[in-house]
Amino acid sequence: MMSNFDTTDYVRKLELAGLPQQQAEVHAQALAKMMDKANQEAQLLTLQYNLQTSSHESEARLMSHVTNARKVLSAEIALQNAKIDALKSFLDVRMDQRGLISRDLSYLYMGVLIGVTLAMLTKIIFFWHAVRSILMQSSSTAQAMSLHILLNRIPRTGDCCHDN
């Protein structure tokens, strides 16, 4: 990038001050190069600041999306746990009323628990696939790295979703 520095005017002023023309021109060219370099460095610093700001904003948005998704997922898990507990209580009461635990009811009970657990796991898997697709569709390396960092901060077990 060329600076707005007027080398001709600067050479004229140096000549008026008693410097020979050849030395004045060399001095003016050297000063112009230094000013161009300073301008380029300023532009690079501005670009770096803009990239960092954009990266921080992207990270904040991604963290907000992940936090919201975790809240929804935690609420869904809590709801499924409540359904399991209610079903377990219902089946326990029904079995106590009959005074016996039949093998068929035990299998039914286990089947229902397995079905509810699979439904929960399916929702968790869909959540992680959605997050992964965000990572894959990310338009910049900085955004992809931010999401990768965020995902690594999230515990990989279901422990984060329980209040116990």
Q: Residue 127 domain-assigned? A: yes
Q: Residue 67 domain-assigned? A: yes
Query: Domain tally for the chain?
Result: 1
DSSP string, 20-50: -HHHHHHHHHHHHHHHHHHHHHHHHHHHHHH
Q: Residue 31 domain-assigned? A: no
Whether the per-residue pLDDT at 53 is higher than 80: the answer is yes
Rounded Cα distance, 143 and 52, in Å: 11
Task: For residue range 64-109, list pLDDT tens digits in order.
Answer: 888 888 888 888 888 888 888 888 888 777 766 665 556 566 667 7
Q: Residue 143 domain-assigned? A: yes
What's the pLDDT at 82? 87
What's the pLDDT at 21? 92
What's the whole-number mean pLDDT along residues 53-58?
A: 86
Alpha helices per DSSP H over the chain: 7-16, 21-98, 103-137, 141-153
Q: Residue 128 domain-assigned? A: yes
Q: Residue 42 domain-assigned? A: no
> 11: burial class by Cβ within 10 Å (0-12, 13-18, 19+)?
buried
Structural domain for 127, as ranges = 56-161
